[in-house]
Chains A and B, each alone.
Chain A
Amino acid sequence: MVAPSSSSGTPAWVPRKRRGTELVLTSMAVGIAIFAYVAVGLGARGTVPAGVFKLAAAVIVVAIATTIVVRRLAPYADPVLLPLVIALNGIGLAMIYRIDQDCPGFCLGGDYQPLANAQLMWTALGLVAFTVVLFVVNDHRMLQRFTYSAGLAAIVLLVLPLLPGIGQNIRGARIWINLGPFSFQPGEAAKICLAVFFAGYLVRHKDALALAGRRVLGVDLPRGRDLGPILAGWLISVGILVFQRDLGSSLLFFGLFVVMLYIATERPGWLVVGAVLFVSGSYFGYLAFGHVRARFDAWLDPFGNPDANGQLISSLYGLAHGGVLGRGLGQGSPELTPFSFSDFIVGALGEELGLTGLMAILLIYGLIVERGLRIALTCRDAFGKLLAAGLAVSFALQVFVVVGGVTRLIPLTGLTTPFLAQGGSSIVMNWAIMGLLLRISDQTRRPAPEISTVQSDEETQIVKLPAGGTA
């Protein structure tokens, strides 16, 4: 679509596609990934990894293909988001490849199998998911039609791991399902479904939620029937997660819920209610669940019980050993930290890339959130605003919870590190989220379709059909 040439005097805002910028940034991101891969080989083995050219060619082809997908399917989409995500994903892949160098025969009690190839495959699937989202959802507002279906889907996805047969209990949390050779964490997909459900529901009911109701203790409480379904949905998801013993996700869903409610109603009181509920919930969790108590105690004084908190301590040692400039890729000892390839990958990155590298990674995360919120701000429709803001804030929360946990800012909870950690469902679903954000962004930055600006008598004689959302 070509920018409209307005012949009249009104200097219309001409949105720029900025696909060239995206290409330049993407090639930088691809460069980071390839150099990181080479650096791992040089650091750990002293040689450039064999097959680096094949891999580089593959990565470049995939990156070009992805930019072409965006060019064709979402030409006005935000040009920064995709390169940021490619850079993160590339760094994550290089780090997992790096851990593959030292972990086999040592990690997981010697059961460790190299993970980089699987992760590469999941990344490819993630890009497929990204493309599919952009292709199928050609207008994000169509998702509003699936509000309740999304809610139902979220519940089903969350219940699945509890079902005998396909549900799987790994490391104390029942959040995996078995699909043939793969195990999948449906919680990641449930997060997207919940965001869609909350957005759709709140758009429809926000006025009722905000205006009708009574004021209790300075907080405007809505009527029960407006609140009922959403509270029920939330209770079910949180309940399931407590049964699944995955409090990280529980915290994340709750945060998503409160934040979207706040955006929709513009009432900060909801944040207060949320905070109170969260604190009392945490306290209840502390009293009721041994593993929550253990996590909390580990946070307050990890060195008091070095045997039980070896993982966190090792991560902190790794970070400290990395120092300001880091050990260099391939030259630290991330294999000493259990699960440094997944939950503790930030510790591994901090050790080898140093404070400098870790801050750069945090800034990339911050920029992704910033782009997401910018999309929400500029979006013209309420549903898109809510969805984009919900996805962006939940992304920020997830990064905060997992990075804060590993660096001992807050107690440790099990959440995946988006785009970096090993794990298929996380990477595929996060790519899908990026697809959604780019779709909303494309819709937002796209020039408004020209409608009924009467410019001359001649044009008034043409019967114009009202233009739809897509041009």
Chain B
Amino acid sequence: MRDTTTTLLHDWHAAGLVSADQVDAIERFERGRTGGPAPRRTVVAEAIGYVGAALALGAIALLVGEFWSQFTDLARLVLVLVLTLALFASGTALRRATRPPLQRLASVLYAGTVAGVAWATGIVVGDMVGRRDVEVGITIGVASTAAALPIYLVHRRALSQLVLLVAVLGTALATLSLPDQPPDTVWYSLTAAAIGAAWFLLGTGGWLSPRRVAETAGAVLAVLACQVTGGDDWALLLLGAAVAVALVLLAIRSDALHLLAVGAVGLFLVVPRLVFAWFGDAIGAPATMLVIGLLLVLLAVGLGRARREIGDDPATSPPPPPSASTGEVAR
């Protein structure tokens, strides 16, 4: 079974973009650099390893849980800190590994480190200092962000980025709950949507990598925030629909499938609620089905046009095959 790189290389060779020698050279280089595509056996072994580790950790958690209530706060803190340090040390040891499974393991260990920092902070601020729940939440958020940010800066992987996003989001939402009378849920939605949009912009601007992860996570957060806690507030639903439409348009313009998926799913989530919010039960179900149907048609037409435009663009059309006799292959 050929991997993506091999498939692309052979397609490029068929289109006359690269020569057979260049295909061989690139394949040799990639095999030497990454050890070649991961065999299915390795992937299965990695998955089994994670499942086994999760089961073992669950068993340890059950055993410790039986005695947890008998531990003093200090003993709990020491236990959690030792666990956190072990996770951090293991992640750091694997950070420079080149093999993808080890890189993924490092990401998981670093994510566990941030969770451990949050847990230890909760023990100190909640159990030992005895602050209010909302203050505990804010402190946990700030400590998690403080731990997740440097980890992300030295380990710019998808999971580290998502952990940082969750920590930032948690801090912001906990801070909103600080006043005696927390704001309406609309403000929680708006805050989460703004964080999602900012994350998307930072990803698109190249400030967060992997870029695609930042764009997808930010877009998902922005769209979901507008419809999960927005209730029947049509203004927020309208904002969600606008964000989803903007994502679809952007996806068609830039041929970005990940944005298209988020935008399309977002539309199907937000539009029915918007129709119900505006028109109520009177025309609810038929109008919703009609709108969704029209959206599907528009989406299909838009995608078709985008593909045709890309196909018609001379810049993206393959050049004529190289002449083997003259050796005018792109070098």
Question: Are A and B bound to each other?
Answer: no
Interfacial residues, chain B to chain A (CB-CB below 8 A): none
